[in-house]
C-alpha cells in the first residue's frame, strides 16, 4: 500500500501524471495554544502532509515540548523524513532532536546559511543528513523552498502548490514578509493565495502594519494566518482586515487546503 502511494507521488514529481492534491498543515509549536492540553512556547513548527509525504517546517525551541505536542495531537514524529529549517535561530531548529531521536530511518534536514556549527554537528551526530538549501528544489511533489532570501539573517520559506492554490509558510520573515511573498509569487509565476507563519512585525507602527496589509491585498493574498513573532498588534490588525479569511493559528490547529 505504501509503495503504491510513493509511486503515484513519483509520477507527480516527474510530471507524467498531474492531479491536484490537498495539503494538511498541523501546527506543532507556536507562541499560542489552539488545542487545550498542548503547550505554547516561543518558537514555530508546522507539519506539512501531502500525497503520502510529510515535511516538518521548523522544529520549535525545545525537543521535549515538540515531542509532547506531537504526542497530544497524535502526530508520529518517527514518520518524518524531511525537515526544512527556515533560518538559523534556535526557536526554529532547537526542537530538531525530538525528530532525529524518534526517526526510524534517516532524516534529511534542509538548512539555511548561518546555522550555528554546533547545531549542524548535532544533526549529523544524531544520524540526520544535512543538506544546504542552496536551491529551491525539494524532492517532494508540489513543495518548494522560496530559496534563500535576505543578507542579514538569511531565511527560506516553504511554498506548497496544491494545483488549485499556492500556500506560503514563513518562519520569522526576517527578510521582510512582503519581500518574501513577492519573491514567492515570482518563483511560482502565479498568485500566493494563503500566507501563514511568523511575519515579524512587532516593532512596526500601526501605520506601517496597515501598509503591509494593503501590500498583501495588492499581491493578491486571499487568506492570512500571522502568528509566532508577528506581534499582537499586527495579528489584531490582520484579523480585523481579513475577517472570515483570517486563519487562526496556535498549537494544535489543523488546516486543510484543496
Ligand atoms: Zn528568527
Ligand atoms: Zn522566530
The string of pLDDT tens digits covering residues 49-98 is 999 999 999 999 999 999 999 999 999 999 999 999 999 999 999 999 99
Ligand nearest to the CA of 174: 1
Instruction: Give the C-alpha separation, 103 to 124, whole Å.
Output: 13
Distance (Å) from CA 8 to ligand 2 centroid: 35
Strand order in the sheet with 82-84: 129-132, 108-111, 82-84, 53-57, 45-50, 23-29, 254-257
Phi (first) and psi of residue 166, to 5 degrees: -115, 130
Full-model pTM: 0.91
Sole residue written with cell 500601526? 206
Q: In this structure, are residues 248 and 223 in contact, taking their beta carbons and an 8 Å threshold?
A: no
Closest ligand to residue 229's CA: 2
> What grid cell was written down for 229?
513573532
Q: Which residues have a Cβ under 8 Å from the Cβ of 8 and sit 6 or more positions away?
A: 17, 51, 52
Whether the per-residue pLDDT at 4 is higher than 60: the answer is: no
Q: What is the count of structural domains for the chain? A: 1
Beta bridge partners of 177: none
Identify whether the C-beta of residue 36 lies closer than 8 Å to the C-beta of residue 78.
no
The C-alpha cell at 64 is: 521535549
Beta bridge partners of 108: 82, 129
> Does pLDDT of 19 surpass 60?
no
Tell me how far the alpha carbon of residue 174 lies from the centroid of ligand 1, in angstroms.
7
Question: Would you call 256 exposed, middle or buried from its count of C-beta atoms within 10 A (0-12, 13-18, 19+)?
Answer: exposed
pLDDT in tens, 134-157: 766 788 999 999 999 998 999 999
CATH number for the domain spanning 93: value is: 3.60.15.10
* Ligand closest to the CA atom of residue 198: 2
CB hemisphere CA count around 103 (13 angstroms):
22
Q: What is the pLDDT of residue 40?
A: 98
Cell numbers 498542548 correspond to 38
pLDDT at position 105:
76
Average pLDDT estimate for 5-15: 39
Q: How far is CA 92 from the centre of its chain?
A: 10
Calculate how far, in angstroms, residue 133's C-alpha sits from the geometric centre of ligand 2.
18
The domain of 30 spans 2-14+21-257
Instruction: Report the separation in Å between the CA atom of 106 and the middle of ligand 1, taken as the mean of its atom positions.
Output: 27
Residue 251 has pLDDT above 60, yes or no: yes
Amino acid at each position: 500500500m505504501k509503495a503504491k502511494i510513493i509511486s503515484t507521488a513519483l509520477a507527480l514529481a516527474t510530471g507524467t501524471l498531474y492531479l491536484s492534491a490537498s495539503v494538511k498543515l498541523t501546527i506543532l509549536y507556536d507562541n499560542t495554544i489552539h488545542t487545550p492540553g498542548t503547550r505554547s512556547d516561543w518558537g514555530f513548527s508546522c507539519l506539512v502532509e501531502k500525497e503520502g509525504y510529510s515535511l516538518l517546517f521548523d522544529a520549535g525551541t525545545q525537543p521535549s515540548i515538540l515531542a509532547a505536542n506531537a504526542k497530544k495531537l497524535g502526530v508520529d514524529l518517527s514518520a518524518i523524513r524531511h525537515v526544512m529549517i527556515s533560518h538559523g535561530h534556535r526557536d526554529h531548529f532547537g526542537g530538531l532532536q525530538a525528530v532525529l531521536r524518534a526517526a526510524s530511518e534517516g532524516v534529511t534536514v534542509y538548512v539555511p546559511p548561518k546555522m550555528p556549527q554546533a547545531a549542524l554537528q548535532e544533526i549529523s551526530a544524531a544520524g540526520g543528513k544535512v543538506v544546504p538549501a542552496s536551491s529551491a528544489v525539494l524532492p517532494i511533489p508540489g513543495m518548494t523552498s522560496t530559496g534563500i532570501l535576505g543578507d542579514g539573517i538569511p531565511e527560506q520559506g516553504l511554498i506548497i502548490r496544491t494545483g488549485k492554490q499556492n500556500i506560503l509558510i514563513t518562519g520569522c520573515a526576517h527578510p521582510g514578509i512582503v519581500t518574501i511573498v513577492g519573491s514567492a509569487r515570482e518563483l511560482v509565476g502565479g498568485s500566493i493565495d494563503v500566507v501563514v507563519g511568523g511575519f515579524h512585525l512587532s516593532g512596526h507602527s500601526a501605520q506601517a502594519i496597515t501598509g503591509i496589509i494593503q501590500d498583501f491585498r495588492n499581491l493578491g493574498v486571499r487568506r492570512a494566518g500571522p502568528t509566532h513573532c508577528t506581534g499582537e498588534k499586527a495579528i489584531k490588525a490582520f484579523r480585523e482586515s481579513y475577517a472570515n479569511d483570517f486563519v487562526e493559528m496556535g498549537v494544535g490547529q489543523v488546516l486543510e487546503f484543496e
